[in-house]
Amino acid sequence: MSGRMLPSLAFCNDVDYSNWATYREVHRVLSEEYGLPAEDSFWLFDPRGSEMALFKKSLHEKGPRHDELLEAMAKGRLPILHGGGNFSCSNTEVRSSRSLIGAGLAYVRERGVMPTIWTNHGDDGDIQNIGGSAWTYQQGDDPASAAYILDLLLQGGARFFWTDRHASNDFVFSAKRSGKQPLLVKERTRSGHNITCFFRYRGALPKAPDAQTLGLQLSGVNLDRLVRTGGVTVIYQHWGVHRDQEGRPRTACEPIFPAESLAGLRRLQQYRDRGLIRVVPLTKLLNDCMNLSEDPRHVCEDL
């Protein structure tokens, strides 16, 4: 073997509009019908009581699926923390704070289930988001803000960050930071920390990607280019979302994936079975790329 990373793909889903039933059904389809591995995300808090949040407004109000979420986290299925919580202006008047998110992070750390991946969520109501080197409304990495949490995330073991600006319509990224359009990039934050950020493939879609547009993301053209270039990619998704005719999001109902999206998953399965594309959990892909960048002798061929 040549000692290079095989063309690789991972999914990165945001938990918006998901409930416990959609979460379970999506992963049943991916795992049992197509044999495709995928991790998922969760919230620490959602004042409106999402089933994908551990708590509502505080640690005194457990979410409806608190115990099931902790169990899934312990099994490594939910390593992605989506913005700490759901504080979007369209959803709630509750704003985030260092004390609130800090309490949630301490709770999961004490139980040994601290997430290693962070993805920003929502809108300018989510002031806890991480801004990196091109911040606007985000205050999670601003030490002068009452919503500053980056140091707590890093102390807890968070290693990889997705900020609002790290979405791309280019399907293929380089596994090495020295390559063209690397998957991983370093960002200097207002707190002085250097963090590792990663890109996600969005696609030229009219709305953020969802279960109904997954097939467009997994097109033959895209997968062929990934194979041809020998790159890597991370698929940006909201697979708990369906949209009405006006494009407004709602919780997906069964069948979660329409025919075109199932065709995309089947296509990816075939590329995987032919040994053309390696499909791995996001945590593994990010760690592989980190290791490859840090140690040029690192061999990922048969991971």
Distance from C-alpha of 127 to C-alpha of 124, rounded to nearest angstrom? 6
From the list 108, 148, 112, the residue with the least C-alpha distance to 127 is: 148
Q: What angle do CA 90, 24, 66 make, to 5 degrees?
A: 65
Q: Are 205 and 216 in contact (CB under 8 A)?
A: yes
Domains in the chain: ranges and CATH: 8-294 (3.20.20)
pLDDT digits (tens, 9 = 90+) for 70-126: 999 999 999 999 999 999 887 768 889 999 999 999 999 999 999 999 999 999 999
Q: How confident is the model at residue 177 (pLDDT cuts 50, 70, 90)?
A: confident
Which amino acid is it at 50? S
pTM of the model: 0.94
Q: What is the largest CA-CA distance in the chain?
A: 56
Q: How confident is the model at residue 33 (pLDDT cuts 50, 70, 90)?
A: very high
CA dihedral sign of residues 238, 241, 243, 249: negative
Q: Are 40 and 51 in contact (CB under 8 A)?
A: no
Structure tokens at 229: 């270039």
Element holding 10 (H helix, E strand): strand 8-13
Looking at residue 292, what is its pLDDT? 86
Distance from C-alpha of 75 to C-alpha of 62, rounded to nearest angstrom? 20
Q: How confident is the model at residue 191 (pLDDT cuts 50, 70, 90)?
A: very high
Structure tokens at 184: 């991983």
Distance from C-alpha of 303 to C-alpha of 299, rounded to nearest angstrom? 8
Helices (H), the chain: 20-28, 66-74, 98-110, 150-156, 214-217, 220-229, 259-273, 282-294
Averaged over 12-36, what is the pLDDT?
98
On the question of pLDDT at 209 being above 90, the answer is yes
Looking at residue 187, what is its pLDDT? 96
